[in-house]
Amino acid sequence: MGRTSSTKEDAGALFHSLRSAYAATPVNLKIIDLYVGFAIFTALIQVVYMAMVGSFPFNSFLSGVLSCVGTAVLAGKSNFLSPLFAKDLPPERAFADFVLCNLVLHLVIMNFLG
């Protein structure tokens, strides 16, 4: 029917526009995206491993998964929110905050790993 084909056309056009818009983002941000994707992929692998092998010791599993999610969150915010980012913080300050937060996160992770 005309309806479904127009929907399919729309879907195709949508993917094209998405891809072209994404290709237009600067290379730095795409690298950060890759890093975020890798972190989430690592978390998913850990979840699948836990599903296969069992969840003991639970604290190690938790700390592993949450460390991946945490780094994804911290790194991804700058790219994810680029349309909305209020540029009122100087980039050095933002980077220093990022390093500090990562330090605290990994300190807690290593303590919790058991």
Partner 1 sequence: MAAPETSTAAVPTLYTNNTLRNAFGGVLSFFILLLIGVMAFSIRLFSVIKYESVIHEFDPYFNYRVTQFLAKNGIYEFWNWFDDRTWYPLGRVIGGTVYPGLTLTAGTIWWLLNSLNIPLSVETVCVFTAPIFSAFASWATYLLTKEVKGTGAGLTAAALLAMVPSYISRSVAGSYDNEAVAIFALIFTFYLYIKTLNTGSLFYATLNSIAYFYMVCSWGGYTFIINLIPMHVLLCIVTGRFSSRLYIAYAPLVVLGTLLAALVPVVGFNAVMTSEHFASFLVFIIIHVVAFVYYIKGILSPKMFKVAVTLVVSVGLAVCCAVIAVLIALVASSPTKGWSGRSLSLLDPTYASKYIPIIASVSEHQPPTWPSYFMDINVLAFLVPAGIIACFLPLSDASSFVVLYIATSVYFSGVMVRLMLVLAPAACITSGIALSQAFDVFTGSIKFQLTGASSNTEVDAAETSSSTAESQTDAVKTEKPEETAKNRPSRKSKKKEREHGEKPSTEAKAEKKRLLALPLESSVISLLLLVLLGAFYVVHCVWAAAEAYSAPSIVLTSRSHDGLHVFDDFREAYAWLRHNTDVDDKVASWWDYGYQTTAMANRTVIVDNNTWNNTHIATVGTAMSSPERAAWEIFHSLDVKYVLVVFGGLVGYPSDDINKFLWMVRIGGGVFPHIKEPDYLRDGQYRIDSQATPTMLNCLMYKLSYYRFVETDGKGFDRVRQTEIGKKYFKLTHFEEAFTTHHWMVRIYKLKPPKNRIRGKTKKSKSKTSSTTSSPKRSGTKKKNPWQ
Binding of partner 1 by 10 (CB under 8 A):
yes
Which residue, 14 or 45, is less far from partner 1 as judged by CB?
A: 14
SS (H, E, C) the chain: CHHHHHHHHHHHHHHHHHHHHHHCCCHHHHHHHHHHHHHHHHHHHHHHHHHHHCCCCHHHHHHHHHHHHHHHHHHHHHHHCCCCCCCCCCHHHHHHHHHHHHHHHHHHHHHHHC
Binders of partner 1 among 66-95, rule CB under 8 A?
66, 69-70, 73-74, 77, 80-86, 88-89, 93-94
Output the smallest distance, CB 34 to partner 1, in A: 16
Binding site for partner 1 (CB under 8 A): 7, 10-11, 13-14, 17-18, 21-22, 24-25, 58-59, 62-63, 66, 69-70, 73-74, 77, 80-86, 88-89, 93-94, 96-98, 100-101, 104-105, 108-109, 111-112
